[in-house]
Amino acid sequence: MSEEKRDTQTSASQTRPRADIALRFTEWQIGFVQDCNLRCTYCGTGYGATGKKPGYMTEDLCRRLTAFVFAHTPEDQPIELGFSVGETFLHYEAFIRFADLLRREGHDKGISLKIHVSTNGTLLNPERLEALAERGIALTFSIDGPQILHDQCRKDPLGRGSFERAIENWRYYRALCTRNQRGSACVVHSVVSEHTRLADVIPFWLEQDLTIFDAVVQNPSSFASAEQNDGWHRRQELFLADFESWAMEQAQRLNVPGFLSEYTGPRQIFDIWQRLFLEREKPLCGAGLYTLAVDIDGDLYPCDALKLNPKWRVGNVIDGIDRDRLMQFRAERHQASHQCQSCEVKPYCPKSCFAMDPEASLAENFDVGCYYAKQCADIASRSYTVLSKCKEKKHVP
């Protein structure tokens, strides 16, 4: 969902009766498959299984979940259905049946819906990609930049790199999406891990003619080694150093409002500049407010990342939402993010996450993430000043 829609939704929901907003969701995160064909060295989800038995959602649960989703969706707003955590295309045919069921139900109820799937890209082929594009499904490919860096981490169970297959399918889908009129989209997500620098990833995507991509730092996880988790702060600091160099370089090159069409690089810089330009604040994430996640057993959580912590199970598709647990979660997240209200960088801060480290509390997570969110906001704000001055310079006759 675009941030603009979220902004609109937040203000619209504030005017709705409280009893109605409490159990209505517009963003659904569906863990359809709890398994993966790869064995990435930094995998933070236990190869998609999140510590549970590997498997995928039964057809019966798909039908029940479809009814559940549309019973808890506002009648007057579009909804987003995201498939991530495990590798959804391990069960491609079953996924297509489920996606078609959701699309049919949305059509019958007059509710517009968008389906997107995060994938490692290795189980696709032209026939499958064409069927996905035909259905208007958006794909996010996880590709970590140059082959040598990607293959160090993203391996199959025999230790073989997955780059060639993933990039070939990404190229194919990207070409399909430029021709497709049905709303399909093709996005890239690169993990900056212990082996990677953002500075190595940026030129790779520019060489592929990709203007904007998502770059994320490898987070701590109960499935990663102690050494990997200990390196998290160092990875963040290196990421910020590269982030600043790139932001300043782009600010010298571009101007306002030219950056809106000419910016290239990681999305985070563009997003903050755009917020400064449009004076539109990024809200906190929707976890447990307008976002709900579900696993293959039908258990409900406030978001995908919180599936790793059983404390935050807030119900089940069969038994319904545990209202008390959900309210407890909402109260804790409100408390954890209280400091944002008086924060000077609030208008353009990318905001922290409540669930980066599943072992930590919501408040501990938010505090640590807040430090890095503030650094990002500061870098983007300083570079935006340079960007704005460049405009003045370029208009001097």
Under the rule (CB under 6 A), what is the footprint of ligand SF4?
36, 38-40, 43, 45, 47-48, 86-87, 120, 154, 339-340, 343, 345-346, 349, 351-352, 370, 373-374
Minimum CB separation from ligand SF4 for residue 24, in Å? 25
Strand partners, 216: 191
Which regions of the chain does DSSP assign to beta strands (E)? 27-30, 33-34, 55-56, 79-83, 113-119, 138-142, 186-192, 212-217, 265-266, 291-294, 300-301, 315-316, 320-321
Closest distance to ligand SF4 from the beta carbon of 362 (Å): 13
* Residue 23 DSSP label: T
| Closest CB to ligand SF4 among residues 24, 235 | 235
Q: Please give the span between the terminal C-alpha atoms of the chain, in angstroms, as a whole number.
A: 42
Structure-block tokens of residue 188: 């890239």
Q: Kindly state the smallest distance separating residue 264's Cβ from ligand SF4, in Å.
A: 26
Identity of the residue, 296 or 321, whose beta carbon is nearer to ligand SF4 in the bound complex: 296
Shortest distance, CB of residue 394 to ligand SF4, whole angstroms? Answer: 32
Q: Which residues contact 26 (CB under 8 A, 6 or more apart)?
A: 1, 9, 73, 74, 77, 78, 79, 80, 286, 290, 291
Q: 37 or 211: whose CB is closer to ligand SF4?
A: 37
Nearer to ligand SF4, 137 or 377 (CB): 377
CA 302-117-170 angle, 5° bins: 145
In whole angstroms, give the CA distance from residue 214 to residue 212. 7
Least distance (Å) from ligand SF4 to the CB of residue 178?
26
| Residue 40: CB minimum distance to ligand SF4, A | 3
Nearest to 154 by CA among 206, 241, 208, 218: 218
Q: At its nearest, how many Å lie between ligand SF4 and the CB of residue 349?
A: 3
Roughly what angle, to the nearest 10 degrees, separates helices 59-71 and 92-109? Answer: 30
CA distance 163 to 17: 50
Considering the complex, what minimum distance in angstroms separates the CB of residue 7 from ligand SF4? 15
Task: Tell me how far apart the alpha carbons of residues 30 and 57 are, in angstroms, rounded to a whole number.
Answer: 10
Query: In terms of CB distance, is 208 or 339 closer to ligand SF4?
Result: 339
The whole-angstrom separation of Cα 314 and Cα 325 is 5
Of the candidates 35, 16, 17, 45, which has an alpha carbon nearest to the alpha carbon of residue 191?
A: 45
Centre a 10 Å sphere on the Cβ of residue 324 and count the other Cβ atoms it contains: 10
Give min distance, CB of 123 to ligand SF4, in A. Answer: 10
Q: Which is nearer to ligand SF4, 212 or 345 (CB)?
A: 345
CB 132 within 8 A of CB 185: no
Comparing CB distances to ligand SF4, the nearer of 209 and 227 is 227
Q: Are strands 55-56 and 33-34 parallel, antiparallel or unpaired?
A: antiparallel
Nearer to ligand SF4, 325 or 351 (CB): 351
Query: Which CB, 49 or 390, lies closer to ligand SF4?
Result: 49
